[in-house]
Amino acid sequence: MKRIVIKVGSHVLTENGAVAKERMRDLVELIALVMENGQEVILVSSGAVSAGYTVLPLDRRSVGNRQILAAIGQPLLLKMYQEKFALHNILCSQVLLSAGDLDSKKRTYLAQLAIDGLLSNGVVPIINENDVIATEELEFGDNDQLSAYVAYNFDADLLVILSDIDALYDKDPRVFSDAKVRREVSSITKEELNAPSTAHNEFATGGIVTKLKAGDFLLNHGKEMFLATGFDLDDVKSFLLDGIQKGGTHFCGV
Ligand code: GLU
């Protein structure tokens, strides 16, 4: 694998109403190790709205407030990332995208040039939805799908989704104690894709269905996806660095 997209969700980056700095530090450390291993990493990070809320607790249910929170939180988030990456002498950068940016060939090409340029200079692009203007995203959209489009359009081989869910199960593990992990998935059914989307966290907009949609999109485009917990990076570390799957779900064509 040459180029990897790692997506981290709001829930993983937030704890007790504040940015979970230790988790961010661990994530950045992992990215540094993956880069040392000769792979390029694009990070898709949520957490703008939740970071904004830590300094100005506006009601997040209003779209207008979420725009304000994202505008405040995005620079706070990036500042924290910059500090953490600096400990590894790595530069990071901010790339804000809206769905429309990947609609036209010309804009996609311009974005590809920017991403390629950053990566060839050893800089980590940190991508988020441009939440301040992409209000339809704030109402229901999600970074799971954005990260799938990023992986496809910026020619990554693999998308890693670090979530509050440690894997895909055969039934809801919060309801059924005998739910089993599905370690490998090579196709996703229509029923699975059409199930209602349920996010576990007040800041997150996704849920398992949006991850399945991301996986379905990538499988249909000959790419792979790995879903693992973002709370403990052991599973993703052994998958990326040693090629060993301890936990998590690997979405991979047959
Ligand atoms: N882009 C939003 C944020 O940074 C989160 C969207 C999502 O988690 O899917 O807060």
pLDDT computed for residue 103 by the predictor: 85
Please give the mean pLDDT across all residues of the chain: 92
Which ligand 1 atom is nearest residue 206's CA? 9
pLDDT computed for residue 140 by the predictor: 46
Cβ neighbours, 10 Å, residue 117? 12
Q: Give the range of the structural domain holding residue 60, as residue numbers without chain letter.
A: 3-251
Taking CA atoms only, the protein residue closest to ligand 1 atom 2 is 46
The model's pTM: 0.94
**Domain CATH for 243:** 3.40.1160.10
pLDDT computed for residue 171 by the predictor: 85
Instruction: Please tell me the total count of domains within the chain.
Output: 1
Taking CA atoms only, the protein residue closest to ligand 1 atom 9 is 142
- Ligand 1 centroid–CA 241 distance in Å is 27
Length of the chain: 254
What's the pLDDT band for 1 if we cut at 50, 70, 90?
low
- Ligand 1 centroid–CA 207 distance in Å is 12
pLDDT computed for residue 202 by the predictor: 44
Determine what percent of the chain is predicted with pLDDT higher than 90. 78
pLDDT of 142-189, one tens digit each? Answer: 899 999 999 999 999 999 999 998 999 988 888 889 999 999 999 999
pLDDT of 18-64, one tens digit each? Answer: 999 999 999 999 999 999 999 999 999 999 999 999 999 999 999 89
